[in-house]
Amino acid sequence: GNSVTQMEGPVTLSEEAFLTINCTYTATGYPSLFWYVQYPGEGLQLLLKATKADDKGSNKGFEATYRKETTSFHLEKGSVQVSDSAVYFCALRTGNQFYFGTGTSLTVIP
């Protein structure tokens, strides 16, 4: 079946540290891949996406590359800020269904 596995949190980093949140997926066919971010008390917001193999999605300094050979879509940012503290969800879409990972909580301390 279809599923998304992302690294468990919580993750705590100092400001300006490098961030990686791992995400791997299992899917039939050729899914589209997404990262969503959820700030406290809010709904999820689309952060970035990639629709085919080797695509790189990027937004607000975050990047993720669609790796078909390793079925991965790891989220990276070179220098995190306190304002990046949130929960991050990896997701895939296949057909009319979305599948979400369990979320990774990130806290950035000054």
Partner 1 sequence: EAQVTQNPRYLITVTGKKLTVTCSQNMNHEYMSWYRQDPGLGLRQIYYSMNVEVTDKGDVPEGYKVSRKEKRNFPLILESPSPNQTSLYFCASSGDRSHNYGYTFGSGTRLTVV
Amino acid at 60: K
d(CA 7, CA 81) in angstroms, rounded, equals 20
Interface contacts to partner 1, rule CB under 8 A: 4, 32, 34, 36, 41-46, 49, 51, 89, 91, 93, 96-98, 100-103
| Chain centroid to CA 81 | 17
Per-residue tokens: 23:
């995400």
CB of 35 to partner 1, least distance (A): 10
Judged by beta carbon, residue 18 or residue 68, the one nearer partner 1 is 68
Judged by beta carbon, residue 3 or residue 14, the one nearer partner 1 is 3
d(CA 31, CA 50) in angstroms, rounded, equals 9
Per-residue tokens: 13:
């980093």
CB of 97 to partner 1, least distance (A): 7
Judged by beta carbon, residue 17 or residue 71, the one nearer partner 1 is 71
